Structures are given as structure tokens and as C-alpha cells.
Amino acid sequence: MHSSFSLLSLASLALASPSLVSVSSEVGDVIRRALPDSPSGGYAPAEVKCPSTRPTVRSAKNVSQQESDWLRTRRGNTVQPMIDFLRGANIAGFDAQTYINNHRQNLTELPNVGIALSGGGYRALMNGAGFVAAADSRVAGSTDQHGIGGLLQSTTYLAGLSGGGWLVGSIYANNFSTVPQLRDGSAGSDLWQFSRSILKGPKENGISILNTASYWDDVHDAVDAKRDAGYEASITDYWGRTLSYQLINAKDGGPSYTFSSISRSPGFNDANQPLPILVADGRLPNEKVVALNSTVYEFNPWEMGSFDPSVFGFVPLQYLGSNFSAGSIPDNERCMSGFDQYGYVMGTSSSLFNQIALRNISSEKVPSFVTNAIEGLIERIGQANDDIAVYSPNPFYRYNTKTNPSAEEKTLTLVDGGEDLQNMPLHPLIQPERGLDVIFAVDSSADTDNNFPNATAPASPVVPDAETFINKGPEPAPDLLRVRPQKLHHGRPGQRAPAAAHRVRALMAYTAWGNVSTFTMSYSDADRNAIIQNGFNVATMGNGTTGDMSTKWRTCIGCAVLQRSMLKTNTTMPAACQECFQSHCWDGTTDSRPIAGGYQPNAVIGIQETSAGVSSRAGDFNKVLGLVSAVVASGLVLVI
């Protein structure tokens, strides 16, 4: 029991879902990646020539001009993939090509799709990776009869938080590579090699470092270079640097790579990929608890900022590290660039893991010069601030002073995007300015002692409580909440309603126990592959092998994508879609009886447990800290 197994042994389970062992003919090069454009040539920011129009903080009343221009192209680029995806859904009585072509002159009438990937460390990365692989038409088997391949190509936005942010970040840092490419890496690379803890460092040589001492020496030198450039360092600098070795396929984890360079990368710049967004929370120094109404910040390829009324502003990401004051860089101040180092942005969204790293650092033979430096940081900032990422100078200093809680702070402190109890990065996707119609929210949270999500933090008042979803929701089938047409138009005057949210519980057990503990810092290749494969099987309901509902899974996914569009175009939903909604919609009644013994889903197909699954039974760090999922516990949910 709890034995490890490889993807090849999945054949013994007689699965209809294909193993993720290859990609189709459209193969990207995992060696190419985001741009090493830090002006220092390394981790530290450095001065650049200011543009003729000096950078300013803009109001959040709309998306940026860059995003608006990009969006027009991206929406057009999703038309053909959406036709292909909906044709594959085989919705009886519905001609996907005719419908899309009839409305392609007004792209706002066509489905605008987003995907959100929850936090949850390596668990979230691996489970989320399975869903992304299933949604990616480039991955072998994803476009089979019951697959959902093409959903990714039809998507406009891809958001991640904490561990889900590692997945999003790694995809874009490596040329929008497929999940199998990232999983398999390349010769001499430590990419997605989770079998060795990042506290020990890579085990490969070549473009990586061979031993723990030299690894930490390079990490320490990089952080010192940032200090020498005049910037305050935090534990997140060390965390982000180490994280990069596993997630960015570049020498030393790409210290000169920046998140803003995505905006200038081929593929994204041509709007042939969704727009990536990472999420973090604001927290004032010395605050020990992040409030539910804390300011939510996002990082996208052009900007960093918040739609929340507290800040309601965005700063050009490329010029973070410059001394903004009252919304602009004064004429006597320099323009700086390179502060948005790729690993630091990913580390900011997952700064909770600073504490996990601190718990394990003494057992991993980390050199004393590193532990001494970190202990010195903790002594200076206090134990309550060991999970912060420091953004100094504060880009929103004296900006929006009436409502901005950090307006008079020279330093902006950000923390893990899940610390406000919203472990799903829905916030940037439900903004009316972005006009999304549907969001697939992939949950890999750990809300129970067994590290499964249980819907304890629904993001909409029309979502029932967790107990209702578990007691009334058929398993492993999805639940769909019927869209209420009268709620289609609301929000600020003249703006569309926020998007519907399809919530996919990625942690159901189809072929492996993916409910591994956030404490676990390393995974064998076999366990990694099995958990990714399980996520793929969840996303396809075992490729149609788990009963009548699963054979209609792709049809119902297609119907869910179309529902908002058909409401806008006054088109009658096909009978096949009505059947999906009648079968899977929540009926509006509740059953809030306590779940005896906690929530533990049943195995769906056939389980050979991963060796990493053993530790998951003892509870989870997310549970200890009270981080609560924002996703429902019973499959797929449509919420308006």
C-alpha cells in the first residue's frame, strides 16, 4: 500500500485516458524562454534611461492600453480554436462553426474564457499541470473523443496563485512549453526535477550546479548583489532564487529573467497565448493576519497593481524599483529596471513557503553563511514578517492617499496570494473591465486533514455551503449551477457582470492520491508523473470511462462555455445542453449536515497510491494556517 509507481504501470489499470508520454507534432522548444533583460545582467535591478514620457501610476478604471490592444488580437486568435473545441464537443443540434462565424464580427458576443489555478505548493503545481495538459490541444490524447483539448487555446486569461503561480510562471518562462515538455525537461536541466529539495539544490551538472554549497553560494551572491544595488532584501529573495532552479530552464535559474519580458516574447506578443496573471496580497508591516478585505495585487506582463478601491492603480512592471511618489517618478529620480525578477515575482505569490523553508532549512545542510544571513533578517524584521516580500521603494507611495493603507509607507509589503483565505485567483478574472464570460477554476487546495478541498470559501452568494456540495453533489460527476439570466447585467453602470466560474476539483482520486502534504518538499519522478496523470484523468473524467455522465463530459463542458454567449445572443440552448444543466445543476436546496469523519473522496477508477501520499494523512500546513479554498468540492460549478 502507498507504493510508488510510474506512468507505464498505469496500463495495468486498463485506463482509457492516455498517459502523458508525448506531445503532438506541434512541439515548442523548451530551451527557449522569457527574456534575460535585466539591465544588470543578473539578479539586481539597475538604472535605465527613462522613456520620453516618464512612467506613471495609472487609474484602474480600465485595463491598460497595452492589454486592450493585445486583447483585440487575442480574441480574434481564439476564434478558430474555439470552433475546433466546440465541434469536438459534439453538441447535438448545434453547428459550432456556423454559430461562431455568425457572431465573429462582434467578438464580445463570443465566449471569453479564463482559467484559474489555485494555490497549494507542489500539489497545486502537479494537479494543475494535469488539467492544463488535458486542456492543451498540443498534448497527445487531449483531443480524443472525451478529451477537453483546445480549451487552453480558446482561453484569454490564465491566472495562478502560489503553487498554481509556479505552474503559470514556469509555462511562460519556458516558451509556453507543454506540460510533458516541462515534465521531461532537457539534457543537463533541473527543470521540474522535484526529486531533490530546492533547499539542497540541483543534482544535475551541465547548466546547473552540482553541490549544495556552490548552489547556495550563488543564491547568496545574487541576493547580496541586490543589497549592494541599494535595495532591501527579504527571505522571499532567497525563496524565489531557489525556486527558479526548478522552474526556469536557464543557467542558475535565470537570475536576469524578468516577468515583464513576457510582454516582449514571441508567441505572447503576437497574442497566440493567454495572458498570464499572478496574485499576491498586501499586508502592512507587523500585521500578523491578512484580512479578508486586504488589497489583492496582480502581476501581469505589463503592470503590477490592484483593481481594489483601496489602491485602484497600476504601475508599469518594468519600472518597479524606481522611486515613485504621488503616482510618478520625479524628474530628479532615476528610472530603474530589473526589480521584477521572474523568480521574485513567483516567490512573492508564494511567500507562505518562506515559513516552510525555514522549518526545513536546518535539516538540509544549508551552509551557515546562508542561515546566518536569514537569521539576521528575521532578527531585524521580526518573526511576524518572515513571510513578506519587500517592494521598496513603494510604487504606490503617496498615491490615492485617502484609501490606500500603504500610502505613507516607504515600503510595500506583499504576501502569498492565499493568505487572505482566497486560495483561488479569481479576483483578477472577475473584474468587469476584462469581460470574461466563464472561468475554469482548478482547485488543488487542502482544506481537510486529508488535504482535499471542501468548498469552505465559495466566492459567490449563490454557491451553497461545503456540506451541501458534498452531501448532494454526485461524485465523481460535476455540479453546474444554472445561470440566472436576470443576473447577467450588474456591477458599475455601463459595465458587464463579472464572469461565471466553472470550478474543477483537481484533487479527486482517479488513478493516484494527489492529496500530498504541502510539507513535502521533494517527489520522485514516478510520484510526480502519477499526480500529473491523475490531474489529466480528473479533467477528462477518466476519458469517458466512469459512466454515462463521463461520456457526456466534453459536451457539457462545451455547453458551459457557450451558455453566457447564448444568453447574450438570445440563442436557444440546444436540448443536449439543457440535459446537461438539468442533470448537473444544483437544485437550490441545501443539506448542511456535518460530514462524518471529514471529507474523503472515493477512488474513481483504480488507485495505486503514491509514496508521497503517506504523509498527506497527517494534515497540512495550509490547514494549520487556516488557508481556505475558494473552490467547490464536487467537480464543476457554474456560478453567476
**Domain membership of residue 13 as a residue range:** 1-30+61-161+423-640
Confidence of residue 472 (pLDDT cuts 50, 70, 90): low
What is the C-alpha to C-alpha distance for residues 600 and 447, in angstroms, rounded to an integer?
A: 11
Establish if 316 belongs to a structural domain.
Answer: yes
**3-class SS of residue 38:** coil
DSSP string for 269-303 = TTT-SPEEEEEEEE--TT--S--TTPPEEEE-SSE
Are 123 and 203 members of one domain?
no
Chain-centroid distance, C-alpha 248: 16
Establish if 634 belongs to a structural domain.
Answer: yes
What is the C-alpha to C-alpha distance for residues 554 and 561, in angstroms, rounded to an integer?
A: 11
Per-residue model confidence (pLDDT) at position 156: 98
Establish if 620 belongs to a structural domain.
Answer: yes
Confidence of residue 292 (pLDDT cuts 50, 70, 90): low
Which of 420, 446, 480 is the last residue before a domain boundary?
420
Are 391 and 341 members of one domain?
yes
pLDDT in tens, 245-282: 999 999 999 999 999 999 999 999 999 999 999 999 99
Per-residue model confidence (pLDDT) at position 25: 34
The verdict on whether omega for the bond into residue 393 sits within 30 degrees of 0, i.e. cis, is yes
Confidence of residue 331 (pLDDT cuts 50, 70, 90): very high
Which of 362, 388, 420 is the last residue before a domain boundary?
420
Report the half-sphere exposure of 319 (CA within 13 A, side-chain side): 23
Q: Choose among 376, 350, 271, 427: nearest CA to 627.
A: 350
Are 376 and 390 members of one domain?
yes
How many CB atoms within 10 Å of residue 257? 24
What is the C-alpha to C-alpha distance for residues 58 and 74, in angstroms, rounded to an integer?
A: 23
Contacts with 423 (C-beta within 8 Å, 6 or more apart), sequence order: 118, 119, 120, 161, 162, 445, 457, 622, 627, 628, 629, 630, 631
Establish if 177 belongs to a structural domain.
Answer: no
What is the C-alpha to C-alpha distance for residues 258 and 345, in angstroms, rounded to an integer?
A: 9
pLDDT in tens, 530-544: 999 988 988 888 777
Tell me: pLDDT of 419 over 50.
yes
Domain count, the chain: 2
Are 552 and 592 members of one domain?
yes
pLDDT in tens, 196-245: 888 888 875 544 455 778 888 899 999 999 999 999 999 899 999 999 99
pLDDT in tens, 66-87: 999 999 999 999 999 999 999 9
Q: Choose among 110, 37, 71: nearest CA to 260.
A: 37
Tell me: pLDDT of 401 over 90.
yes
For residue 72, which amino acid is it? R
Q: Which helix (H) or strand (E) holds 354?
A: helix 353-360
More confident residue, 52 or 291: 52
Are 73 and 203 members of one domain?
no
Report the half-sphere exposure of 476 (CA within 13 A, side-chain side): 29
Per-residue model confidence (pLDDT) at position 355: 65
How many CB atoms within 10 Å of residue 29? 12
Are 379 and 325 members of one domain?
yes
Are 80 and 214 members of one domain?
no
Which of 420, 454, 489 is the last residue before a domain boundary?
420
What is the C-alpha to C-alpha distance for residues 224 and 482, in angstroms, rounded to an integer?
A: 54
Contacts with 263 (C-beta within 8 Å, 6 or more apart), sequence order: 66, 269, 301, 302
More confident residue, 19 or 281: 281
Per-residue model confidence (pLDDT) at position 179: 97
Establish if 136 belongs to a structural domain.
Answer: yes
Chain-centroid distance, C-alpha 629: 14
What is the C-alpha to C-alpha distance for residues 200 and 215, in angstroms, rounded to an integer?
A: 8
> Whole-prediction pTM value?
0.86
Are 136 and 208 members of one domain?
no
Are 310 and 199 members of one domain?
yes
Share the mean pLDDT of the chain. Answer: 79
pLDDT in tens, 152-182: 999 999 999 999 999 999 999 999 999 999 9
Confidence of residue 526 (pLDDT cuts 50, 70, 90): very high
Cell numbers that stand for 401 in this block: 492617499
pLDDT in tens, 557-614: 999 899 899 999 999 999 999 888 777 666 677 777 876 655 566 656 555 555 654 3
pLDDT in tens, 82-120: 999 999 999 999 999 999 999 999 999 999 999 999 888
What is the C-alpha to C-alpha distance for residues 39 and 154, in angstroms, rounded to an integer?
A: 35
What is the C-alpha to C-alpha distance for residues 480 and 483, in angstroms, rounded to an integer?
A: 9
Are 56 and 68 members of one domain?
no
What is the C-alpha to C-alpha distance for residues 591 and 263, in angstroms, rounded to an integer?
A: 47
More confident residue, 543 or 408: 408
Cell numbers that stand for 346 in this block: 513567483
Q: What is the mean pLDDT of residues 354-364?
A: 65
Cell numbers that stand for 568 in this block: 447574450
Are 554 and 634 members of one domain?
yes
Q: What percent of the chain has pLDDT over 70?
A: 69
CB 151 within 8 A of CB 85: yes
Measured distance between the N- and C-terminal CA atoms of the chain, rounded to whole angstroms = 43
Establish if 263 belongs to a structural domain.
Answer: no
Cell numbers that stand for 348 in this block: 512573492
Establish if 314 belongs to a structural domain.
Answer: yes
Are 298 and 443 members of one domain?
no
Establish if 270 belongs to a structural domain.
Answer: no
More confident residue, 304 or 15: 304
Tell me: pLDDT of 499 over 60.
no
